[in-house]
Amino acid sequence: MVTVCTSCGNQISSALNFYKCRQCVNHFVCEVCETKAHNRESASFHTLDKMSVLNEKLTSAATNNTSTSSKSSSSIFTSEEYLYSLLSSCDHCYCVIAMDKQPIFECQQCPNGFCVCARCMPLMSTHHPSVHTFSQQPLNHWAKIVHDMYHLGIKCDGCSLDGYNGKRYQCEECPPSYDLCENCFGQKHTQHKFRYIQNPLLHGSNQWILGQRSLELAKKYGNNNSDWRDPLTGWTRSDAELVIQQANQEKDNYHTRLQEIEKKNAEYAEEERRIARQQLVDSERRLQDSNDDFHRWLMWH
């Protein structure tokens, strides 16, 4: 594989080490360009990892044997699939699948789940137990799951809806935070520029999928090399394990927060019912008192 420095455009000699961006798929920097100011200034956005020729050969082998739906010159982490869709990974070819855009088939007999893409599905008659059956959810099923993820503790500054679902947009100019739901975005506060904020549950779910995929690829192509990196994510085995741990924590935090809100709402609803019952009792008492007063008045007259 010929490696070209994307900073200076020159081919990197096989006798030299080079640097690969952890966030970008095809961003390589030679040793000379690594010291340049523009690469140092971008360190807060891009992480350059020193690579060896051996490691690059292993990366190339994984790339040639792995099909991904998100292959491009940009990072998987800035792709529309990663930001807006719920991802999965084919357990046969390891391609990444945006489940609201591409069909995915799940085995109904495998206890830990076994999913394949549409391209690999015809191969399952010979590559998977023939007695196993596969099912497919409609694409809008996965789109609804993503749409129903709530932005917990976030209020839309356009319509005042608290904990709304759907897409979240945040103003880049108004501190500390000015947020709009997808219904208000483009309709209100149009004088400022907004950025999309990914739902934390969607972020954790997609990170977990990519982390699991990286671990599987590391087992298959890493050859016990701890420095081997997934060509799509840039993660080593230890990176992927940490990502999975953080993703699980992120999902746990979301569900814990959701349970707290649901409990608080239930308590609030119960308090509202208690107040309503008390008001009903008070109203009946006042009505009874009025009837008693009326009867006493009749007796006196």
For 38-95, write each residue's pLDDT tens digit: 776 666 566 777 765 434 443 444 444 444 444 444 678 888 999 999 999 999 999 9
Low-confidence winner among 36-50, 126-140, 144-158, 176-190 (lowest mean pLDDT): 36-50
What does the domain layout of the chain look like in residue ranges? Answer: 1-51
Distance (Å, whole) CA 169 – CA 189: 11
Fold classification of 1-51 (topology level)? Wheat Germ Agglutinin (Isolectin 2); domain 1 (3.30.60)
For 169-186, write each residue's pLDDT tens digit: 999 998 888 999 999 999
Q: Which residue has the tokens 């999913």?
A: 115
User: For the residues 232-259, what does the mean pLDDT come to?
Assistant: 92
Task: Compute the Cα dihedral for 164, 169, 175, 176 and give only its sign.
Answer: positive
- DSSP labels for 51-101? E-HHHHHHHHHHHHT---TT-SSS-GGGSHHHHHS-EEE-TTT--EEETTT
Share of the chain above pLDDT 70, in %: 86
